Amino acid sequence: MAVYNELMKFLREEYFKRNYSEVLTPIMFNKSMWEISGHWEHYQNNMFLTESEGNIFSLKPMNCPGHTVIYSTQTRSYRNLPLRLAEFGQLHRNELSGTLSGLTRVRRFVQDDCHIFCMPDQIQDEMEKELDFAKFVLGDTFNFEYHMELSTKPEKSVGTAEMWEKAEEGLRNALQSKNLKYKLNPGDGAFYGPKIDFHIKDALGRTWQCATIQIDFNLPERFDLNFEGEDGKKHRPVMIHRAMLGSIERFMGVLIEHCAGKFPLWLSPVQVILLPIADRHIDYCEDIASEMKEKGIRADIDGSRETLNKKVRDAQLQQINYILVVGDREQENKSVNVRTRDNQQHGEKKVDAFVEELLKEIISRKF
């Protein structure tokens, strides 16, 4: 859960910088919503259904219809666009039992989902921003190797051929304007629009589709969305669907293997562990741990009766980033003796100075 929360915290900070508004929509919608969106016709077999008072409902497999409703709650002007709505929504998809696998393929998951409502002449700029965002997240922050695939119109789809052609052209233009290499994946688009999928490589060389960016002319049409243009007339917005991590559960599964459990400091469930040499040092360790927790550092204490060597070995096996040994000398000097999980010895450091070092490393999100 610590890793899960840190991933969402990271994205929330980026959303704030990039002018996204976070929203929360219901986990269940009436059948009529899915009929309008096209999911009832094209995706019903993958949905969990329930009935109440003669009405059929479904747990949502996607957030997009809910975001169209939020868009339509007020009159939108061209001055309000682009509107970027983000949601960490709980999604449920009725996957076949044979396809389920650990965290990488589950029936209930959370996406770092976003829908951007923009004017047609804003597509290029928004797409380029999202491609830059994906590079920042996958490459710059997590050091993943990845490749991109452009997935085009599938056999079962909604909308006109002209809509699909415009959407596919928008994705191609964005990729070409950034000089990005990509593979063509014919017929693998979503039923409502084409997409760019980002496939990241794990420690075993396998690839996983995580991030995705999609252009959609269909849902704005089906939900009759519009905005007032500069000419005073109503116009249809374009909807861009995007997720940077994709399923947070899948991303975590790949990430755990990618770094073999050796998380960078900002992601580690336990960032620091204090090892008192004797019982008389436990109170001092508790004071240090409390100080660290007040500053948001996840610190723990091994107060067991094991030998110091055994405690150090256990902490290294747990891949805890910093292992702090505390004895008489450290207690007297208001210090700690610092080593890492890789058995690098950093020696004695004053507690206040070491806490500042930790905070700088956490804020930098070094991988």
- Say what the pLDDT of residue 81 is: 96
Is the CB of residue 82 less than 8 Å from the CB of residue 122?
Answer: yes
pLDDT surpasses 90 at 112: yes
Name the average pLDDT for the chain. Answer: 92
Per-residue DSSP letter, 77: B
State the pTM of this model. 0.90
The sheet carrying 108-118 orders its strands as 21-22, 83-92, 108-118, 238-247, 207-216, 195-201, 146-151, 183-185
Q: How far apart are CA 315 and CA 303, in angstroms?
A: 12
Structure confidence at residue 209 as a pLDDT band (50, 70, 90): confident
- Say what the pLDDT of residue 34 is: 92
- Say what the pLDDT of residue 156 is: 81
Q: What percent of the chain has pLDDT over 90?
A: 68
Tokens standing for residue 115? 């829908």
Longest Cα–Cα distance of the chain, Å, equals 78
What is the identity of the amino acid at 342?
D
Q: How far apart are CA 42 and CA 249, in angstroms?
A: 25
Q: What is the pLDDT of residues 47-106, one digit of tens each?
A: 999 999 999 999 999 999 999 999 999 999 999 999 999 999 999 998 888 888 888 888
Nearest to 290 by CA among 278, 301, 279, 281: 301
Q: What is the pLDDT of residues 144-153, one digit of tens each?
A: 989 999 988 8
Per-residue DSSP letter, 105: B
Per-residue DSSP letter, 190: B
- Say what the pLDDT of residue 177 is: 86
Structure confidence at residue 227 as a pLDDT band (50, 70, 90): very high
- Say what the pLDDT of residue 265 is: 96
What is the identity of the amino acid at 229?
G
Q: What is the pLDDT of residues 121-176, one digit of tens each?
A: 898 899 999 999 999 999 999 989 899 999 888 888 877 888 788 888 888 888 88
Domain ranges within the chain, ordered by starting residue: 2-258, 272-364
Q: What is the pLDDT of residues 321-337, one digit of tens each?
A: 999 999 999 999 999 99
Structure confidence at residue 260 as a pLDDT band (50, 70, 90): confident
Please give the positions annotated as active site. Answer: 64, 93, 111, 113, 115, 195, 241
pLDDT surpasses 80 at 266: yes
Nearest to 334 by CA among 319, 324, 343, 323: 324
SS (H, E, C) 284-345: HHHHHHHHHHHCCCCEEECCCCCCHHHHHHHHHHCCCCEEEEECHHHHHHCEEEEEECCCCE
pLDDT surpasses 90 at 201: no
Q: How far apart are CA 199 and CA 212, in angstroms?
A: 9
Question: Is domain 2-258 in CATH 3.30.930.10, yes or no?
Answer: yes
**Correct CATH for 272-364 of 3.30.750.24, 3.40.50.1970, 3.40.190.10, 3.40.50.800:** 3.40.50.800
